Amino acid sequence: MCEKCKGNFYITTPIYYPSAKLHIGHSYCTVATDAMARYKRMQGYHVLFLTGTDEHGQKIEDKASEAGVTPKQFVDDIVTGERGVLDLWKLMNISYDRFIRTTDDYHVEAVQKIFRKMYENGDIYKGTYKGKYCKPCESFWTESQLVDGKCPDCGREVQDAEEEAYFFRLSKYADRIRDLLENTDFLEPRSRVNEMINNFIKPGLEDLCVSRTSFTWGVPVDFDPGHVVYVWIDALFNYMTALGFQNDKYHDLEEFWPADVHFVGKEIVRFHSIIWPAMLMSLDLPLPKKVFGHGWLNFNGEKMSKSRGNVVDPYILAEHFGVDALRFFLLRSFPFGSDGNFTNEMLISTINCDLANDLGNLVSRTVAMAQKYFGEHLPAQQLEDPEKDAELVTMLRELRGKYEEQMEHYAFQNALSEIFKVISRANKYIDENMPWVLAKSEENKPRLARVLYNLLESIRICGGLLAPFMPDTSAEIAKRLGDARMDWESLGQYGVLSAEVATVNGPALFPRIDMEKELQALEEMNKTQTAEEADPLPEPLPEIAFDVFEKVEMTVVKVLACEKVKKSDKLLKFTLNDGTKEPRQILSGVAKYYAPEDLVGKTLVAVTNLAPRKMMGQLSCGMLLSAERGDKLNLVMLDDSVPAGSRLV
Ligand code: MSP
């Protein structure tokens, strides 16, 4: 730790499954973690913010094989590929300090050592697994844990499973875990403790199956080939291997373990508040100080998931509304510990009310007035009016403390409310003091200067405290106030801005959004996206040798005549010039897509060495090439300058 630092602070997000591209729900936790990390840095802590990807498991193995690539290629594409996880965090301005991939060698080797240690100390033993398995969640369940016979987490069907496997003695730690949950603040919010006690502890903790033999994409158990480590064991230890536990890549354990807080979504609280501490107890390691289980964002009242087709693409949202507005919306609109319902209407109205009207107007009006009435600098001669200024100034003096109290409890929404109370008060202060009236007489100039100073000081403090949520906007605000101080100490004090502050003009921070127009534009984009999803690419065909391809004769042909085939809705009869003296007849199923008269004279491509065959009583000598996707079809047409009889090679 550096000498000037207040202390160390280690904060983590769950590491993401790169089984599909992330949606806005996934960004929720990462944006919250980023806000917390930035807040702690601002306070003077030496912060380590860890995020990453959880890349093993059967689901990924299956998806890769569907896509015809190796699991590593599959995850590489989603993690490091274009618009992948890394790109998304860059776009969202996520200031993580370390990124772990569970396929990184150092992590894999460390997990092997950890598994062996628990085997050697007797907490992992070999047995036979019989039970239920939820493939999408990669979770094992006992009969009693199922809800209506289905996975208690996602509600989907579970499969019977029986195989030789290793088990972790979770049952041994049941009492200590119960004590941890009930008698400490380890898990928050408190409602999550009740969920854990009622759903998992009271029914009795059973030993946990921690290895699999039915697939190979995982960390191999090095002393028993054929077994791979259960993906959750592999994943949870990321929080420590990323600091150097059981590896030499990093050396930060002493400084940063135990973690100050793990932020996790509510459906994975079980893993973090029961299994994770039990494993740490088994290894006699310190437990993280806190696990915070946040709520889920739904979209228009439904669960957000790609498979349900209501994904909210963070790229589209960020491009439309701006990254800061999106980050702000996520933390301003929903209490962090509860579920929230994301709608585009709500996003736009939050941007319009809080950002365009309240914050944006306060900044642009104040800066514009300062420049209009005084030019570059405010004058040093200023006149206080204790009565008129008292309320705003007191609020400014108290704001940092109130904000801090909320932030320390991860109550982002409340912290932002405190800031916006001051912003509203400042806007009201403009109306009460009517600077445009004061500006009319020279005698009132000192009072006018003080009014504007108080407003600029309000903007400085609010803008500074907004930095963890909207880092770019906060930096822009500092610039508009002539590179004002926004360090933590200065944000707790009124009067830091120099009296002769020089302001800088600029465009509106958040232009108002036309709700109807924007909703329509988003809907159009969703339609295009859904249409693309509904027409997936066809399955690739097996490879062929070049000499097989060479045997196909593809010839350029010109349409001499074209007509409908009687009694057929599908077929058109083509009379074609194929470069020989004899016209060639081909029947093609394109009647739904073309009027026959439109095709006369066109230059097409035909396979001309196909064995002739009869269709609707007429002979077809070859096949016209066309391009098909979903319900669209286009004949392959060439430039008319290409002569009939040319070969395609
Ligand atoms: N790989 C595990 C975590 C392992 S941590 C040792 C995992 N990954 S995940 O990609 O499925 O989810 C990552 C996080 O995103 C989880 O905390 C999950 O709760 C969160 N969310 C996924 N969808 C969400 C919403 N719709 N809303 C809020 N958070 C959501 O779980």
pLDDT band at 302 (very low <50, low <70, confident <90, very high): confident
Mutate to test the pocket of ligand 1, among 13, 16, 275 (most ligand atoms within 8 A of CB): 16
Mutate to test the pocket of ligand 1, among 17, 26, 55 (most ligand atoms within 8 A of CB): 26
Does the beta carbon of 188 sit less than 6 angstroms from any atom of ligand 1?
Answer: no
Averaged over 332-345, what is the pLDDT? 93
Please report, rounded to a whole number, the percentage of residues in the chain having pLDDT higher than 90. Answer: 78
Pairwise CA distance, residues 534 & 547, whole Å: 36
Q: What's the CA-to-centroid distance between 265 and ligand 1, angstroms?
A: 6
Reported as a single tens digit per residue, the pLDDT across 326-337 is 999 999 999 999
Amino acid letter, 225: P
Does the beta carbon of 26 sit less than 6 angstroms from any atom of ligand 1?
Answer: yes
Does the beta carbon of 410 sit less than 6 angstroms from any atom of ligand 1?
Answer: no
**φ, ψ at 133 (rounded to 5°):** -135, 130
Residue having the nearest C-alpha atom to atom 26 of ligand 1: 25
Residue 316 has pLDDT above 90, yes or no: no
Does the beta carbon of 288 sit less than 6 angstroms from any atom of ligand 1?
Answer: no
Q: What's the CA-to-centroid distance between 13 and ligand 1, angstroms?
A: 9
Q: Which residue has the higher pLDDT, 138 or 28?
A: 28
Residue 531 has pLDDT above 60, yes or no: no
Reported as a single tens digit per residue, the pLDDT across 589-648 is 999 899 999 999 999 999 999 999 888 888 999 999 999 877 788 999 999 999 999 999
**φ, ψ at 428 (rounded to 5°):** -65, -35
**φ, ψ at 21 (rounded to 5°):** -65, 150
pLDDT band at 308 (very low <50, low <70, confident <90, very high): very low
Q: Which residue has the tokens 């209407």?
A: 345
pLDDT band at 533 (very low <50, low <70, confident <90, very high): low
Pairwise CA distance, residues 496 & 456, whole Å: 11
Ligand 1 atom at minimum distance from 303 CA: 26
Three-class DSSP category at 32: helix
pLDDT of 1: 62
Q: What's the CA-to-centroid distance between 389 and ligand 1, angstroms?
A: 47
**φ, ψ at 136 (rounded to 5°):** -60, -35
Angle at which helices 314-321 and 24-43 pack, to 10 degrees?
A: 60
pLDDT band at 417 (very low <50, low <70, confident <90, very high): very high
Pairwise CA distance, residues 621 & 618, whole Å: 10
Does the beta carbon of 25 sit less than 6 angstroms from any atom of ligand 1?
Answer: yes
Residue having the nearest C-alpha atom to atom 8 of ligand 1: 16
Give bridge partners of residue 303 from the DSSP assignment.
Answer: 298
Provide the pairing of β-strand 340-342 with 623-624. Answer: unpaired
Q: What's the CA-to-centroid distance between 228 and ligand 1, angstroms?
A: 23
Residue 313 has pLDDT above 90, yes or no: no
Averaged over 515-534, what is the pLDDT? 74
Residue 309 has pLDDT above 80, yes or no: no
pLDDT of 139: 76
Reported as a single tens digit per residue, the pLDDT across 213-248 is 888 999 999 999 999 999 999 999 999 999 999 999
Pairwise CA distance, residues 75 & 52, whole Å: 12
Q: Out of 100-104, 128-132, 237-241, which region has the weakest mean confidence (pLDDT)?
A: 128-132
Characterize 595-634 residue by residue with b for buried, 16 or more Cβ atoms within 10 angstroms of its Cβ, and e for exposed: ebeebeebbbbbebeeeeeebeeeebbbbbebeeeeeeee
pLDDT band at 535 (very low <50, low <70, confident <90, very high): low
Q: Which residue has the tokens 């590489």?
A: 76
Does the beta carbon of 237 sit less than 6 angstroms from any atom of ligand 1?
Answer: no
Residue having the nearest C-alpha atom to atom 6 of ligand 1: 236
Ligand 1 atom at minimum distance from 297 CA: 27
pLDDT of 307: 47
